[in-house]
């Protein structure tokens, strides 16, 4: 009898201990995110570290809020060093050694293209916040790679849509008479956007007088400036990182290049404070195509949960970089990370039984948000199959025009604050006026 | 379009001015190799530190360009001395590959150090120089300055090497390092002076490049490889050869880029380099043995 009691007591103690251990384990369920951006190398200053900051602000926000459906979020950050091979190595390291559940981030398309293939091969989930090259997803039929961001050809075609629309009114020319030059860095990103430019020019019947690529690290672009002077374009469509953008514009100014409009396509053109440092007031009147800055979206048109998050990101950014103008890059990454942590992850855990790549994929494919469903203004609906599987089909960039101290949305007309200033204003050293 | 159109003239002028920039960069590297027989792979990173020095002296401390320039030149000159004393000197008797690897290591060290010290942001002086227009050909003022400085640097270096006692000693050492020590020349002192002059030339290049380029920790990647190729094509250690090679290289890039895709200019320049390595492996001005 006594022995029986003792055994029962021991059993109770063991059960309690096991229960406690089990409980602790349940509480310690972790969701590990591998975050990869360029924190060093030329791309870091070209915008990648700002995206990294935006992603971190949002991840920290969710970590502070507490577990998501019982899962504590843990982020492991890695530096791609502006090199595709380092990005691949870091992605594999995070998956195989750090055992992350997914990868998130990526600024450069040259990194995205190979990394996406490797991640898919390893059966993990990848959420691309930034890189825009169409080639990352086109005809790849990936199951687990998703991009809420607009893609490169959208960027390229948005530029031609705007200039074709204003060709007659602002330049006094039919689109077929409007002389357009397409120049781009020759990586995956630049080539892809230029393809969009070319397709858009063809669609609108614009006269493409020059199409030229160059290495982003080229020490001299004066030959390009001379060719542009010879081609006499009304509009230059430029895709570049930095500092190739400031080198080109500096040499263009010194080389006496004149044009009616210059439209950039994100990356280096999306960091206006750096361009202002290099170009001063010469930047006024230049355009940039990017997803809208989250601080410029019409807050009333967003779903009600979003404006407080926009405010939070702004305050966190001001704290991280006091005195700096709020960068659209930061908001872009923050918005795309929010979409994942707020909508994809909880849905995967609740409705699809966990955090596997398959569960995350199913959850992502179920998202169906109309316009106003993200901080960037656009909606969300991912293509599940087809040539662009994994692409958010509702993502769209806007055209902004740089002013003396800010930037205004000028295209599409539905979101435009005002009409674009075309051709470049008088007094600008590049203007044909 | 006529063959000798205005744009070809402009491309030739641009090539000439780019040649000035590259010649200036090659000058210091050739001096070092000619005398100490060590290639500073990290030379462009010294230029990068010089550009940062210009930024901090001129913009952050508000000293103005003309005060910042000599301070930066002196600063990079001291870096050259430090590089020699800390890295090169202990390896002087080692195999050339060890010296090469050591200066290659310094390259990565300096890039990382700059990232830690200055961050990853692009910086620039914010100086916008006027444009010179002659008969519809536009000439970059900053490039013209670099061109002038390259010529002046070359002449000054020539005078220093031929008209001063130290210069004569440097030339003598570059001809025979072992014998000069036996004849009582303090080779260590000469090496230090040469490193200081080589560093100062990197500083001078930095003062001019910072007018045209943003500075960031990896700016050296744009210039380092091309500068090294120019030095090799001119004959490592041959300053006049390097000077000529810089202009040939720049003209091929500029004119080739005008008539074909921009990238082809570089392709032609590199093909020319490879061809020259077969035809004149000792450099453009080497005498056939």
The confidence band for B289, taking pLDDT boundaries of 50, 70 and 90, is: very low
The confidence band for B287, taking pLDDT boundaries of 50, 70 and 90, is: low
Tell whether A235 and A334 lie within a shared domain: no
Tell whether A337 and A316 lie within a shared domain: yes
Q: How far is B187 from chain A (nearest CA, A)?
A: 37
Residue B10 or A239, more confident: A239
Question: A213, B142: Cβ pair inside 8 Å?
Answer: no
Burial class (CB in 10 A: 0-12, 13-18, 19+), A167: buried
CB-based contact, A230 to chain B, within 8 Å: yes
Tell whether A285 and A319 lie within a shared domain: no
Of the listed ranges A112-116, A139-143, B83-87, B132-136, the least confidently predicted one is B132-136
* pLDDT over threshold 90, residue B224: no
Number of domains in chain A: 2
Q: How far is A215 from chain B (nearest CA, A)?
A: 7
For chain B, give every domain's residue range.
6-223
In this predicted structure, what is the pLDDT of residue A25? 47
* pLDDT over threshold 50, residue A336: yes
Tell whether A180 and A84 lie within a shared domain: no
The confidence band for A15, taking pLDDT boundaries of 50, 70 and 90, is: low
Boundary of a domain, candidates A366, A385, A420: A366
Question: What's the mean pLDDT in A315-339?
Answer: 91
Q: Name the average pLDDT for chain B.
A: 87
CB-based contact, A81 to chain B, within 8 Å: no
Cβ-Cβ contacts under 8 Å, B254 against chain A: 220, 222-223
pTM of the predicted structure, to 2 decimals: 0.80
Question: B120, A39: Cβ pair inside 8 Å?
Answer: yes
Question: What's the mean pLDDT in A143-147?
Answer: 96
* pLDDT over threshold 50, residue A1: no
Question: B262, A221: Cβ pair inside 8 Å?
Answer: yes
Helices B43-55 & B220-234, crossing angle to 10 degrees?
140
Measure CB to CB from residue B14 to each of A45, A226, A277 and give the nearest one. A226
d(CA A357, CA A338): 18
* pLDDT over threshold 50, residue B17: yes
Cβ-Cβ contacts under 8 Å, A50 against chain B: none
Tell whether A267 and A407 lie within a shared domain: yes
* pLDDT over threshold 70, residue A14: no
> DSSP states of A411-428 as a string?
ESTTT-SS----SPPTT-
Question: B120, A250: Cβ pair inside 8 Å?
Answer: no
Cβ-Cβ contacts under 8 Å, A277 against chain B: 122-124, 126
Measure CB to CB from residue B120 to each of A40, A212, A213 and give the nearest one. A40
CB-based contact, A356 to chain B, within 8 Å: no
In this predicted structure, what is the pLDDT of residue B4? 60
Percent of all residues in chain A with a pLDDT value above 90, rounded to a whole number = 66
**pLDDT tens sequence across B149-206:** 888 888 888 888 889 888 888 888 877 777 777 777 788 888 899 899 999 999 999 9
Question: B257, A223: Cβ pair inside 8 Å?
Answer: yes
In this predicted structure, what is the pLDDT of residue A162? 94
The confidence band for A362, taking pLDDT boundaries of 50, 70 and 90, is: very high
d(CA A394, CA A411): 16
Cβ-Cβ contacts under 8 Å, B213 against chain A: 243, 247
Best B4, B133, B138, B258 member to test A by mutation, with max A CBs in 10 Å, is: B138
Tell whether A145 and A199 lie within a shared domain: no
- Parallel, antiparallel, or unpaired: how do β-strands A235-239 and A207-214 relate? unpaired
- Among the residues of chain B, which ranges form H helices? 6-36, 43-55, 65-83, 96-118, 141-163, 165-175, 177-182, 187-209, 220-234, 239-259, 262-279
Question: What's the mean pLDDT in B66-94?
Answer: 92
Question: What's the mean pLDDT in A268-295?
Answer: 86
The angle at the Cα of A341, spanning A350 to A49, to the nearest 5 degrees, equals: 160
Task: Answer yes or no: is A424 within a domain.
Answer: no
Percent of all residues in chain B with a pLDDT value above 90, rounded to a whole number = 27
CB-based contact, A250 to chain B, within 8 Å: yes
Cβ-Cβ contacts under 8 Å, B126 against chain A: 277-278, 280
In three-state secondary structure terms, B195 is helix
Task: Answer yes or no: is A219 within a domain.
Answer: yes
Tell whether A269 and A407 lie within a shared domain: yes
In this predicted structure, what is the pLDDT of residue A348? 97
d(CA A430, CA A104): 40
Cβ-Cβ contacts under 8 Å, B20 against chain A: none
In this predicted structure, what is the pLDDT of residue A86? 95
Tell me which residue range forms the domain holding A355.
Answer: 29-150+299-366
CATH classification at residue A117 = 3.40.50.2300
Residue A231 or A12, more confident: A231
ipTM beyond 0.95?
A: no
Q: Name the average pLDDT for chain A.
A: 89
What's the token pair of residue B70? 């000599």
Residue B5 or B90, more confident: B90
* pLDDT over threshold 90, residue A50: yes
Task: Answer yes or no: is A417 within a domain.
Answer: no
A 197-216 residues inside an 8 A Cβ radius of B: 212-215
Question: B123, A277: Cβ pair inside 8 Å?
Answer: yes
In this predicted structure, what is the pLDDT of residue A45? 82
Tell whether A273 and A407 lie within a shared domain: yes
Residue A380 or B169, more confident: A380
The confidence band for A111, taking pLDDT boundaries of 50, 70 and 90, is: very high
CB-based contact, A307 to chain B, within 8 Å: no
In this predicted structure, what is the pLDDT of residue B1? 47
CB-based contact, A325 to chain B, within 8 Å: no
Q: How far is A227 from chain B (nearest CA, A)?
A: 6
* pLDDT over threshold 60, residue B233: yes
Residue pair A208/A180 in contact by the 8 Å Cβ criterion: yes
Residue of chain A whose Cα is closest to the Cα of B124: A278
In this predicted structure, what is the pLDDT of residue A11? 56
Cβ-Cβ contacts under 8 Å, A253 against chain B: 128, 131
Tell whether A246 and A310 lie within a shared domain: no
In this predicted structure, what is the pLDDT of residue A200? 95
* pLDDT over threshold 70, residue B24: yes
Question: A212, B11: Cβ pair inside 8 Å?
Answer: no
Cβ-Cβ contacts under 8 Å, A242 against chain B: 122, 214
Tell whether A169 and A230 lie within a shared domain: yes
Of the listed ranges A307-321, B49-63, B255-269, the least confidently predicted one is B255-269
Task: Answer yes or no: is A13 within a domain.
Answer: no
The confidence band for B98, taking pLDDT boundaries of 50, 70 and 90, is: confident
């Amino acid at each position: 009898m006594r022995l029986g009691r003792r055994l029962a007591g021991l059993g109770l103690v063991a059960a309690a201990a096991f229960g406690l251990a089990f409980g602790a384990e349940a509480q310690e369920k972790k969701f590990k995110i591998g975050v990869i951006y360029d924190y060093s190398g030329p791309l870091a200053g070209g915008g990648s570290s700002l995206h990294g900051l935006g992603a971190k602000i949002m991840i920290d926000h969710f970590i502070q809020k507490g577990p998501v459906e019982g899962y504590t979020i843990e982020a492991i950050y890695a530096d791609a060093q502006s090199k595709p091979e380092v990005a691949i190595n870091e992605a594999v390291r995070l998956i195989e050694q750090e055992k992350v559940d997914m990868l998130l981030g990526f600024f450069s398309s040259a990194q995205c293209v190979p990394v996406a293939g490797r991640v898919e091969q390893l059966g993990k989930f990848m959420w691309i916040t930034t890189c825009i090259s169409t080639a990352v997803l086109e005809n790849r039929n990936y199951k687990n790679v998703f991009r809420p961001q607009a893609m490169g050809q959208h960027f390229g075609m948005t530029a031609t849509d705007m200039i074709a629309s204003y060709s007659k009114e602002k330049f006094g020319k039919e689109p077929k008479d409007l002389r357009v030059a397409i120049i781009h860095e020759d990586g995956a990103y630049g080539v892809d956007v230029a393809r969009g430019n070319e397709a858009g020019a063809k669609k609108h019947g614009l006269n493409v007088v020059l199409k030229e690529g160059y290495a982003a690290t080229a020490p001299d672009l004066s030959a390009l400036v001379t060719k542009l002077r010879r081609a006499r374009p009304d509009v230059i469509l430029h895709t570049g990182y930095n500092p190739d953008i400031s080198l080109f514009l500096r040499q263009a100014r010194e080389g006496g290049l004149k044009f009616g409009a210059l439209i950039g396509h994100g990356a280096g053109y999306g960091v206006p404070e750096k361009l202002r440092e290099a170009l001063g007031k010469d930047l006024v009147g230049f355009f940039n195509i990017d997803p809208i800055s989250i601080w410029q979206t019409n807050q009333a048109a967003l779903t009600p949960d979003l404006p407080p998050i926009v405010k939070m990101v702004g305050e966190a950014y001001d704290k991280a970089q006091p005195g700096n103008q709020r960068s659209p890059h930061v908001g872009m990454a923050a918005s795309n990370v929010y979409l994942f942590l707020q909508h994809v992850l909880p849905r995967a855990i609740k409705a699809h039984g966990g955090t596997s790549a398959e569960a995350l994929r199913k959850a992502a494919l179920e998202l169906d948000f109309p316009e106003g469903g993200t901080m960037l203004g656009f909606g969300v609906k991912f293509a599940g199959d087809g040539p662009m599987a994994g692409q958010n089909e509702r993502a769209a960039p806007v055209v902004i025009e740089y002013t003396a101290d800010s930037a205004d949305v000028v295209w599409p007309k539905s979101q435009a604050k005002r009409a674009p200033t075309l051709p470049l204003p008088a007094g600008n050293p590049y203007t044909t006026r | 379009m006529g063959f000798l159109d205005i744009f070809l003239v402009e491309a030739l002028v641009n090539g000439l001015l780019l040649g000035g920039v590259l010649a200036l960069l090659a000058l210091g590297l050739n001096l070092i190799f000619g005398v100490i027989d060590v290639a500073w792979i990290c030379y462009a990173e010294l230029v990068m530190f010089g550009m940062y020095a210009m930024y901090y002296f001129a913009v952050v401390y508000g000293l103005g360009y003309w005060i910042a320039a000599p301070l930066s030149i002196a600063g990079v000159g001291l870096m050259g001395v430090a590089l020699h004393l800390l890295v090169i000197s202990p390896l002087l008797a080692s195999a050339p590959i060890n010296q090469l690897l050591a200066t290659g290591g310094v390259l990565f060290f300096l890039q990382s150090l700059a990232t830690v010290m200055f961050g990853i942001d692009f910086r620039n002086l914010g100086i916008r120089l006027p444009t010179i227009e002659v008969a519809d050909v536009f000439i970059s003022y900053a490039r013209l300055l670099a061109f002038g400085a390259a010529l002046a640097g070359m002449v000054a270096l020539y005078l220093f090497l031929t008209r001063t006692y130290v210069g004569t000693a440097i030339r003598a050492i570059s001809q025979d390092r072992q014998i000069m020590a036996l004849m009582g020349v303090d080779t260590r002192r000469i090496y230090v002076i040469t490193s200081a002059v080589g560093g100062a030339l990197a500083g001078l290049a930095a003062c001019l490049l910072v007018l045209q380029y943003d500075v960031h920790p990896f700016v050296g990647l744009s210039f380092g490889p091309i500068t090294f190729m120019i030095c090799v094509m001119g004959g490592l250690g041959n300053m006049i050869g390097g000077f000529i090679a810089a202009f040939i290289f720049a003209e091929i890039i500029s004119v080739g880029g005008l008539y074909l895709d921009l990238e082809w200019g570089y392709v032609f320049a590199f093909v020319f380099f490879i061809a020259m390595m077969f035809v004149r492996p000792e450099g453009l001005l080497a005498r056939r043995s």
